[in-house]
């Protein structure tokens, strides 16, 4: 039985401990992968909106949330973690949703392990993750290790040029020596640098049906690149959530859930029609 949807479960994969949240239920599985600095619980509103239709399983990726820190932060390491997770929980083939860096892991997983991925949802992630297209590395080297309170930690992060640290504060916890973040800033610098580059060829190499969601006010995925991604890869739908910033699942949770659920529903209808025709 999966854990309660508001609690983490744990699994050991490839010599590391990983945390995840499993909404349970009878529906087909949807593996949800967060972006840099995030954690699986950001998908709790989506899991609630899709309850009874889809089983949302959200992984804390390596170095994030309650999963182990340290080690290798190459895209390949993330991809093999996700593949091992799907196999260990016997979830594949599954639809895979990824936001930001998690979107890159999702489409690289689809290319590397096509038998494990039935469909893709890529939320506000580019394949041209380099300057001047975007700014792929947020310098967090000077962020505080500890602060006296949660409010002080947030203020210290925002003092480094972050207008609203709410996203990062989802990883704030109280330690014995004060408030700090679950992720290690050195790990995050290594991970961001490892994902810098052009992944166009690997994006175009997979063939699962896909939905590419762009935030209308994105600073990561330009409209031109999004349209190119949709055009170059067969079976890719492109949609935009107007008025949303990069964290579109939080800016418009209802619209995000409608887009994701509607896409997956359509695929299920098409699959049912094909089996009865």
pLDDT tens digits for range 29-55: 999 999 999 999 999 999 999 999 999
SS3 238: strand
pLDDT in tens, 103-116: 999 999 999 999 99
For the chain, which domains are there?
9-134+195-276 (3.40.50.1820), 137-184 (no CATH)
| pLDDT for position 13 | 97
Question: What's the average model confidence in pLDDT over 76-82?
Answer: 98
Q: What are phi and psi of 188, to 5 degrees?
A: -70, -35
Residue 3 banded pLDDT, cuts 50, 70, 90? very low
Cα 76–Cα 194–Cα 34 angle in degrees, nearest 5? 70
Average pLDDT, the chain: 95
Query: Residue 266 contacts by C-beta under 8 Å, 6 or more apart in sequence?
Result: none
Q: Tell me: pLDDT of 71 over 60.
A: yes
**This prediction's pTM:** 0.96
Question: What's the average model confidence in pLDDT over 251-271?
Answer: 96
Other Cβ atoms less than 10 A from the Cβ of 81: the count is: 22
pLDDT in tens, 183-200: 999 999 999 999 999 999
The Cα–Cα gap between 106 and 203 comes to 10
Residue 156 banded pLDDT, cuts 50, 70, 90? very high
| pLDDT for position 11 | 98
- Dig out the tokens for 275 from the structure: 């089996």
CB 55 within 8 A of CB 23: yes
């Amino acid at each position: 039985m999966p854990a309660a949807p508001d609690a983490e479960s744990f699994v050991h994969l490839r010599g590391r401990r990983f945390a995840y949240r499993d909404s349970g239920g009878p529906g087909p599985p949807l593996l949800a992968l967060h972006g840099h600095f995030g954690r699986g619980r950001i998908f709790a509103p989506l899991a609630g909106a899709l309850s009874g239709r889809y089983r949302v399983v959200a992984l804390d990726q390596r170095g994030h949330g309650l999963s182990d820190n340290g080690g290798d932060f190459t895209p390949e390491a993330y991809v093999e973690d996700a593949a091992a997770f799907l196999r260990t929980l016997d979830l594949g083939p599954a639809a895979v949703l990824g936001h930001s860096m998690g979107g890159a892991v999702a489409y690289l997983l689809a290319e590397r392990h096509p038998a494990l991925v039935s469909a893709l949802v890529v939320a506000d992630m580019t394949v041209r993750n380099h300057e001047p297209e975007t700014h792929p590395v947020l310098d967090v080297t000077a962020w505080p290790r500890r602060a006296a309170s949660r409010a002080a930690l947030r203020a210290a992060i925002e003092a480094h040029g972050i207008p609203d640290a709410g996203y990062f504060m989802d990883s704030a916890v109280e330690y014995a020596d004060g408030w700090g973040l679950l992720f290690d800033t050195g790990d995050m610098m290594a991970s961001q640098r490892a994902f810098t580059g052009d992944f166009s060829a690997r994006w175009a190499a997979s063939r699962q049906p896909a939905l590419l969601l762009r935030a209308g006010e994105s600073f990561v995925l330009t409209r031109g690149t999004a349209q190119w991604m949709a055009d170059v890869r067969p079976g890719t739908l492109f949609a935009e959530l107007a008025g949303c910033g990069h964290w579109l699942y939080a800016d418009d949770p209802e619209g995000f859930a409608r887009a994701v659920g509607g896409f997956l529903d359509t695929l299920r209808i098409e699959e049912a029609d094909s089996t009865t025709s």
